[in-house]
Structure formats: structure tokens, C-alpha cells
Amino acid sequence: SQKIEQNSEALNIQEGKTATLTCNYTNYSPAYLQWYRQDPGRGPVFLLLIRENEKEKRKERLKVTFDTTLKQSLFHITASQPADSATYLCALPRLGGYQKVTFGTGTKLQVIP
């Protein structure tokens, strides 16, 4: 069955450094992948969508890569700031589910001043 893995351990990095988060998936070839940010006690907020024919996508300080051979997406935040501290979720379209996605459990990022 479709499986999504994100590093469940929190990632702590120093302010100004680049944060890199990983989303791995198995048993499946998604047409696209999404990344969301979730703050404590709030709903997720959409950040970026990358399609299978795109190797890389950027938005301001955010960069997402999508390697369909490795079955992996990397999410980078450059020049990280304490305000970037949050949980980051990846989401993939559900196998056979026309309007549905499956979310990973997310990785908690803590940017230390």
C-alpha cells in the first residue's frame, strides 16, 4: 500500500542556515507532491506543489525537489528564521482517490536564534 515517510524527529537548526526536510514514499508513482506548513493548534497552510515532470520549484526562500527515481522530495528553507519554526507536512495524491491526498506525519522544524 501507499506509504509516506517523513523524519519524525524534530530538526533543530541555527538561524541563517538552510533547513532540509525529507519526504520519502513507496509503492507508488505520484503525479505531483505538495508541501504544507502547520503551526501548533492551526490548520495546515499550502506552500508549494511540484509535478512529476518538474525537478525543482522555488518560491522566495523555499525550494522543493522531486526525484521520482529515488521516490523522494526534499524541502529546503534557505536563510532560515525563527518564524520558520513549524511542522512541515508533505502530501501525495491518493492511489485511486480522485480528489484526495494522503498527508505525511510531518517534521517539526525549530530554528534557533
Q: Which residues bind other proteins (CB under 8 A)?
A: 4, 8, 31-32, 34, 41-46, 49, 89, 91, 93, 98-106
Rounded to 5 degrees, φ, ψ at 15 are -55, 140
Q: Which residue type does 40 have?
A: P
Instruction: Tell me the closest approach of the beta carbon of residue 111 to other proteins, in angstroms.
Output: 20
Nearer to other proteins, 4 or 19 (CB): 4
Q: Residue 34: which residues within 8 A CB-CB, separation 6 or more?
A: 46, 47, 48, 49, 50, 90, 91, 92, 101
Distance CA 47, CA 34 (A): 8
Instruction: Tell me the closest approach of the beta carbon of residue 93 to other proteins, in angstroms.
Output: 7
Instruction: Tell me the closest approach of the beta carbon of residue 33 to other proteins, in angstroms.
Output: 11
Nearer to other proteins, 92 or 111 (CB): 92
